[in-house]
């Protein structure tokens, strides 16, 4: 059995250096969900890790910076190739579900698909319970490192008060 790790990251915004209690709570909730998802996906023989970064939304909603800048701020240290807005914003949950469904060995089973759907909904609930409804979402196309056995999906999520980056890492 593979050991899975979860991590919640807190990054300071260049505009504001303080993290909020809601941001910390959302990170802890996503880390808890990530641990459960990792256990549930054991049969897929892949490591699944969900990492959330949060920071207060500087300047209030709507954000005054372009989506590309928000994306770079939400996941510092990642190399972003492209930012694709998700419309309507709630569709990011469906995209996350698709990422989790991709962990299945082929052929996929109905159980795996329903597990992916339930897991994506739990992640969304963990985020929105603490940060509020996602009002703007985008999928990030990351530049992958050739030496890494993992593939990643990333999302930038904007609520009325917070900017969040969700990084989904899946390793064989």
Domain count, the chain: 1
* Closest-CA residue to 155 (of 171, 169, 143, 137): 137
Vertex 75, ends 52 and 161: CA angle to 5°?
Answer: 65
What does the pLDDT average to over 109-129? Answer: 85
Q: What is the pLDDT of residues 6-61, one digit of tens each?
A: 333 434 333 333 568 888 889 888 888 888 877 777 655 567 888 999 999 988 89
Task: Please give the mean pLDDT across all residues of the chain.
Answer: 80
Q: Is residue 4 part of a domain?
A: no
Q: Is residue 2 part of a domain?
A: no
Q: Is residue 148 part of a domain?
A: yes
User: Mind spelling out the 3-state secondary structure of 82-135?
Assistant: EEEEECCHHHHHHHHHHHHHCCCCCCCCHHHHHHHHHHHHHHHHHHHHHHCCCC
Q: Is residue 61 part of a domain?
A: yes
pTM: 0.82
Q: Is residue 3 part of a domain?
A: no
Per the structure, the complete domain to which residue 62 belongs is given by: 9-171
């Amino acid at each position: 059995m593979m050991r899975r790790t979860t991590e919640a990251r807190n990054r300071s915004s260049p505009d504001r250096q303080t993290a909020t209690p809601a941001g910390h709570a959302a990170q802890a909730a996503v880390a808890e969900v990530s641990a459960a998802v990792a256990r549930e996906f054991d049969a897929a023989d892949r490591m699944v890790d969900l990492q959330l970064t949060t920071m207060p939304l500087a300047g209030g909603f709507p954000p005054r910076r372009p989506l590309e800048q928000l994306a770079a701020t939400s996941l510092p240290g990642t190399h972003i190739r492209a930012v694709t807005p998700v419309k309507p914003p709630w569709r990011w949950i469906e995209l996350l579900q698709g990422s989790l469904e991709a962990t299945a060995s082929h052929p996929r089973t109905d159980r795996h698909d329903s597990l992916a759907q339930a897991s994506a909904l739990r992640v969304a609930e963990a985020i929105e319970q603490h940060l509020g409804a996602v009002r703007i979402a985008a999928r990030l196309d990351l530049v992958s490192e050739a030496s890494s056995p993992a593939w990643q999906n990333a999302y930038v999520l904007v609520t009325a008060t917070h900017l969040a980056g969700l990084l989904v890492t899946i390793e064989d």
